[in-house]
Amino acid sequence: MENVKKTGPEGLAGTDPESAFALLIEEQQRLVYAVALRLTGNTAAAEDITQETFIAAWRHIKDFRGESSLKTWLMRIAANKTRSYWRWKRLRSWVGLSDKGEDGEGTALEDLLPDDPAGRPEQAALAAELERRVQAAINALPPRQREVAVLRAQGLGMAEIGSALGMAEGTVKAHWFEARKKLGSSLGEYL
Amino acid sequence: MNDEKEEKLLSLLAARRGETFWRRQKAGILRAAVEERGPRRTWLLAPAAALAALLVLVLARGPRQPLPDEPQGVSAAFIEHLDLLADMDVLEAVSEEEL
């Protein structure tokens, strides 16, 4: 993730705002999307969260104090937006407005896959099955362990995860220890 | 779990998408940034929505309607029925000899 350093506010100085924003998206969208997707298990919500994360970041870039890396800051925004998403889901469920399927809950096979998974249906089916198993294993984790595991998978260190999620580093390590054990058990055949 | 397995596990958690997807997403974000003043996704308003839902619940409980009064009029048939029951009580309380 070395390219992250390129798009710090100081790195964007002298670039016109639109180009700087485009560069920020180019470098970070994979991370933000992956976090949103794995934390929601919903492709449509992940796209919305990614979009809202970047717009919020750009709107508040002047407030970014550089105490953490830009990547950590973006991850924090994405994690907060994901928490908002779950609060909204719970609220809808509480008032009896179940929105199953409304916003892409039932993920289509093609949404789970790269554009051309080796161009062969059997490869596509295997990749889709793996994707479902991975998401199911993540969904089975308690929320904090899930957040830690997903950020860990994006290459964040323990201190960075702690900063993004507002946790002590020791707590992050404990959550990662538990999450790794459970994921290893669920996905053992792929390891 | 050893380091190699951990690396493999972390790679499994990645989101795999093709370049077309990333290009489309980037264009979508840039377009949304331009149209930022447009309507936002409703779930981003969750805190306000939660407050509104609570308010609705509180208002729905509101001042309770007084219970409707008991019917004032009693039919003659009902009184006769009560008299008959009273007679039955008396009859049951009296021994056969006394009758």
Contact residues on chain B for A47, CB-CB shorter than 8 A: 25, 28
Q: For testing the chain B interface, which of A156, A183, A185, A186 should be mutated: the one with the most B CBs within 10 Å? A: A183
Using one digit for the tens of pLDDT, what is the confidence trace for B38-86?
A: 555 555 666 777 788 888 888 877 666 665 655 556 677 766 666 666 5
**Alpha-carbon distance A47 to B63, whole Å?**
45
Assign B15 a pLDDT band (cuts: 50, 70, 90): confident
User: What residues of chain A score a pLDDT lower than 70?
Assistant: 1-15, 98-119
Chain A nearest CA to B16, separation (Å): 6
Residue of A nearest to B29 (CA): A51
Check: CB of residue A72 under 8 Å from CB of residue B61: no
Nearest CA in chain B to A52: B29
Distance (Å, whole) CA A85 – CA A100: 14
Which residues make Cβ contacts (< 8 Å) with residue A70, sequence separation at least 6?
Answer: A4, A7, A8, A9, A24, A28, A64
Task: Report the gap between the CA of A39 and the closest CA in chain B (Å).
Answer: 11
**For chain B, what is the total number of helices (H) and then of strands (E)?**
4, 0
Q: CA angle, A106 as apex, A101 and A110 as ends, to 5°?
A: 135
Q: What is the ipTM of this complex?
A: 0.76
In this complex, is the C-beta atom of A76 within 8 Å of any C-beta atom belonging to chain B? no
* Banded pLDDT at B37 (limits 50, 70, 90): low
Structure confidence at residue A1 (pLDDT):
40
Q: What is the pLDDT of residues B27-36, one digit of tens each?
A: 999 998 887 7
How many angstroms separate the CA atoms of B92 and B53, rounded?
61
